[in-house]
Amino acid sequence: MRLILGDMSIDFSAIAGSGLTIAIVGWLIVFAALVLLVIIFTQTPKLIYYNSRKKLKQKTKKESVTDDELHVSGDVSAAISMALYLFFDELHDEESNVITIKRVRKVYSPWSSKIYGLRVWPRK
């Protein structure tokens, strides 16, 4: 098949069998993007830890800051998380836990009317 557009002509017979090639290239692009995302998500915490350690060294101006000084134990993490949970839990409004159901006065609704059903033939 040949397409002629003014002075330019395109021969589609050369690229007619490239559907498999396009599919493979598409899959490779998707998997490359996924691998890149995995690398970003796994390396970000390491970079944050490195930056915080560097800032702490500059702030304290000690010659030797060990990892033990930077490490937070599990008990401290649990206490901090419990304090945050209790703090944010108090911000929520207290509700009465009473459900009220009011009866609707107008029972008729055009949405539930049988007149407007789909089986009505249109008028000509």
Pick the range with the lowest mean pLDDT from 84-88, 102-106, 116-120.
116-120
Q: What is the mean pLDDT of residues 93-121?
A: 70
Name the residue range of residue 9's domain. 2-63
118 belongs to a structural domain? no
Q: What is the pLDDT of residue 33?
A: 97
pLDDT (0 to 100) of residue 102: 78
SS3 98: coil
pLDDT digits (tens, 9 = 90+) for 13-37: 666 666 778 888 899 999 999 999 9
Mean residue pLDDT across the chain: 77
- On whether residue 36 sits in a domain, the answer given is yes
Helix (H, G, I), strand (E, B) or coil at 3: strand
Please state the pTM of the whole predicted model: 0.35
Count of domains observed in the chain = 1
Rounded to whole angstroms, how far apart are CA atoms 10 and 117? Answer: 54
Task: Reply yes or no on whether the pLDDT at 82 is more than 70.
Answer: yes
In a domain, 108, yes or no: no
d(CA 88, CA 82): 10
Residue type for position 93: D
Any domain includes 50: yes
> What is the per-residue pLDDT for 41?
94
pLDDT of residue 5: 64
In a domain? residue 52? yes
- pLDDT confidence of residue 29: 96
Domain annotation covers residue 83: no
Question: What pLDDT does residue 52 have?
Answer: 85
What mean pLDDT is predicted for residues 57-66? 66
Does a structural domain hold residue 51? yes
* pLDDT of 1 above 60: no
